[in-house]
Amino acid sequence: MRFLRHSLIGLLLASLTLALLVYAGQIIRGAVQVRMNNERPAPVARERVFAVNAITAKMQTTTPVLQAFGQIQSRRTLEIRAPAGGRIVTLARSFEEGGVVRAGEVLVQIDPADAKAALARAESDVLDARAEARDGARGLVLAGDELEAARDQADLRGRAHQRQLDLRERGVGTAATVETAELAAAGARAAVLARRQAMASAEGRVDLAATRLARAEIALEAARRDLDELTVRAGFGGVLSEVSLVEGRLVSPNEKLANLIDPTALEVSFRVSTAQYARLLGESGSLVQAPITAILSVTGADLTASGSISRDSAATGAGQSGRVIFARLEGVRGFKPGDFVTVTVEEPEVTGVARLPASALDAASTVLVLDDENRLEALKVELVRRQGDDVLVRGAGLEGRRVVGGRTPLLGVGIRVRPLGEVDEASELLELTDARRARLVAFVQSSKRMPEEVKADMLEQLTEAMVPAQLVQRIEARIGG
């Protein structure tokens, strides 16, 4: 009985459990059906508003800046070559790579023994020629005296012949005496002719001696010049480069020994496009003397030099395009020939343009502007110049309009936006924390590639309360690299 009672109680509990599970399933099924049958209310559509950076377009007169890349070179460069072959016997202490020399300083001395011997022979030839000239002059004087004496003798013989003719006419003289006098007169005339020939020979000897003396003096001058050229002097003050010479070495004629460069007469050459070149031409068609700035990037700072355009290339060059322009530099410090620099050229002023970020302009030369309801409109503009990350544009109705600074694919005509205000330009000065300032100062002080004057200038700027942001960015870029 006890077992039967326990079995019935278990069966009852199982039935109750099963009934509760079936009831719970029905409740869930009904709730799901009611949920699915109920209609959802339509959500309220709201217009999406985008936040944009707005820039107020201000028409102004500005000076566009053309940027190019160029190379520093010297306007005064001299190739030092050996004037003659021989052995190097003297070499200046400063004749080395990077050596600084003064104008007129003796750089190289080639063995002058052979040149001195040639000079001595030339001097002896001049002495011989002068002696020959003196002998010729004396011979010419004697030949003149002999000719004068022969002429006097001929005159006497002629008078004697005439006297014999007179005597024969009076019947006193004889024919034999007249014939003898005539023969004597003819002999005297023949002697005069011989003396004239001797005089001509003496004159020819004088002329030949003069020619020989002139040749000997020319040879003497050439020998002196050859001797002087064995001493190579600096044509101007400068710095030596490409030195390939040691004392005692044998050199051949016209062999290149070094280059002499004037570091103070520097210029920069850079290539621009034909369109950019056309903007640098004046009303007369000549190149304007526009101011330029050459920038050489170094560790933590920039070396700069100002100047002006001086000339352009005569030809484009095979396989090249555009134009090569040369500009003279003034106040150069730290620049060397061969440096590659960034060149900025100030173009003639343009009026009635607005400066906008380049991201505000699309390929169709339109910008997005805001109306009174902050909805976007497309405005057609004219692109005047590109200035790095900015553009100079002009267009009807652009003055005073708020322009979207950065366009995205989500922005278009008719879309409502929320302007965030004018785009703030990067601050020129920064206030540094003590840790950041100490980090920058330590890097500058530990730099070994930086010139001392540049390092001192940078350290002085880093001690100020407000530090240029550009300087901080460059130093931190070097530290990060």
Which pLDDT does position 423 carry in this prediction?
43
The answer to which of 54-58, 101-105, 275-279, 473-477 has the lowest mean pLDDT is 473-477
Which pLDDT does position 390 carry in this prediction?
87
The strand order across the sheet containing 86-91 reads 231-233, 106-110, 86-91, 250-251
Higher pLDDT, 480 or 458: 458
Pick from 103, 84, 78: nearest CA to 258: 78
Each residue of 308-360: pLDDT tens digit? 999 988 887 777 888 899 999 987 788 888 889 999 998 888 888 998 988 88
Query: Average pLDDT for residues 274-283, to the nearest whole number?
Result: 86
Checking if the pLDDT of 168 tops 80, the result is no
Pick from 34-48, 266-280, 467-481 the range whose average pLDDT is largest. 266-280
Reported as a pLDDT band with limits 50, 70 and 90, residue 190 is confident
Query: Average pLDDT for residues 177-192, to the nearest whole number?
Result: 79
Which pLDDT does position 300 carry in this prediction?
60
Each residue of 394-451: pLDDT tens digit? 988 888 888 988 888 888 888 888 887 544 444 457 778 888 888 888 888 887 777 7
Residue-averaged pLDDT of the chain:
83
Each residue of 15-68: pLDDT tens digit? 888 888 888 888 888 777 777 666 555 555 567 778 888 888 889 888 888 889
Reported as a pLDDT band with limits 50, 70 and 90, residue 70 is very high
Which pLDDT does position 425 carry in this prediction?
42
pTM, entire model: 0.58
Which pLDDT does position 275 carry in this prediction?
86
Q: Which domains does the chain have, with CATH numbers?
A: 48-75+266-425 (2.40.30.170), 76-111+231-260 (2.40.50.100), 114-229 (1.10.287.620), 429-480 (no CATH)
Which pLDDT does position 325 carry in this prediction?
92
Each residue of 221-247: pLDDT tens digit? 988 888 888 888 888 888 998 888 778
